[in-house]
Structures are given as structure tokens and as C-alpha cells.
Amino acid sequence: MSVIDKALETQLSNIENKTGKPRAELAKDILRQGLTKHGEMVSWVKDNWGLGHGDANTIVHVARRSVETRPASNDPLDEIYVGPKAHQRAIHDALMERIKEFGDFETAPKKNYVALRRQKQFAMLGPKTKDRFEMGINLKEDADHPLMKPVKPGGMCQYIVSLHSVDEIDDGIIAIAKRAYDAAG
């Protein structure tokens, strides 16, 4: 072990002693806050655990590295619904259960969403922010729902449905998705 590695290990042991928690638990606590910027995480650690800047910076690096170096999953959805967006996987799964009832279609995972296709793409599902899930609908005809907004021409979809919980999925949203499914092919 190099001198630098020994120094880092000593610092992490001291942080564990100061907080009374193992580093894995500290990392989970930091990531659970849903903060995305390093500086915000460091400030949160300093404010909540009373650590100095150097210790806070080090434990934030450890937390972020634990996410970045986690083993690759065979499920592409694990890469989309991660960190502060992980809870939105339930919305995705609930929508997919209903949409699977329509018939055959292809799912094409992208970096931040999943495209649903027949001959053409009819919908896209994915987290937009840490609090908002979006279902994009490709439907040339008029559609109306309180949670749905039209998108300006030239976008990937004609409509966006913003969801914050599984409870917002209703028969009206599913009926519009079915119309888009039928029109795609």
C-alpha cells in the first residue's frame, strides 16, 4: 500500500470514528439526498455531520465512486432508474404492465428513457427530473388529458404526460397510449 493509500485509509477510518457510521452507510446517506453536484454534497455533509471541508470532500468522493464503479447490470433500466430517480421505476413498471396488454411491440432502451415501437415509435418512458416522470406520446390526432401537454412541432413526441406517482396513471392516459400504439402500426 502506497503512502497516499495509507493516508486515505487513515482519513476514512477517522471519518467513520467521528460519525459513528461505516463508510458504506455514509455513502448511501449522501446519495439518498438526491443531490447531483459535488459542492452541494460536500455542503450537506458539513452541515449535517459537522465534518471539516477536507473530510467532507473525501467522503463525497467515496460516495460518488461507489455509484460510478458499481457492477454493470444486465437490465438497462437499472442504468436509467438510479440514484435520486430510482423511485420512478415503479411508474415505469406500472405503465409497462398496462401497455403490454395492447399487443406486441419493441422496447429500445436509450441513455435516459425507453422507446416503445411498432412500425414507428409510439411512446417513450423515462424520468425527466428527480421528481418528474415523463411519458412521451406520438399521436398526430388531437388528445386531451389533464396531465398531458402538447409539444411544439419538431420534438420527438406530440404530447408529454408528466407523472409524479403510480396513482396518477388512469384509464384516460392508457386510452391515449393505446391510440398511439394503434396508429404506429
Longest dimension (CA), the chain: 67
Say whether both 93 and 171 belong to one domain.
Answer: yes
Q: Does the reported pTM lie above 0.95? A: no
35 and 93 co-located in one domain:
no
- Which structural domain range is residue 152 located in? 77-183
User: What are all long-range contacts of 171-174, with beta carbons under 8 Å and residues at least 24 apart?
Assistant: 172/145, 173/135, 173/145, 173/147, 173/148, 174/98, 174/99
Beta carbons of 38 and 45 less than 8 angstroms apart: no
Q: Are residues 94 and 144 in the same domain?
A: yes
- Number of domain units in the chain: 2
- Choosing from 14, 33, 68, the residue where a domain stops is 68
Of the residues 18, 50, 68, which one is the last residue of a structural domain? 68
pLDDT string in tens for the chain (185-residue length) = 676 778 788 888 999 999 999 988 898 889 888 887 889 999 999 999 999 999 999 999 888 887 655 445 567 888 888 888 888 999 999 999 999 999 999 998 888 899 999 999 999 999 999 889 999 999 888 888 898 898 888 777 899 999 999 999 999 999 999 999 999 98
Are 46 and 95 found together in one domain? no
Residue 57: which of 119, 8, 124, 130 has the closest Cα?
Answer: 8
Indicate if the alpha-carbon torsion angle 20, 16, 50, 66 is positive or negative.
Answer: negative
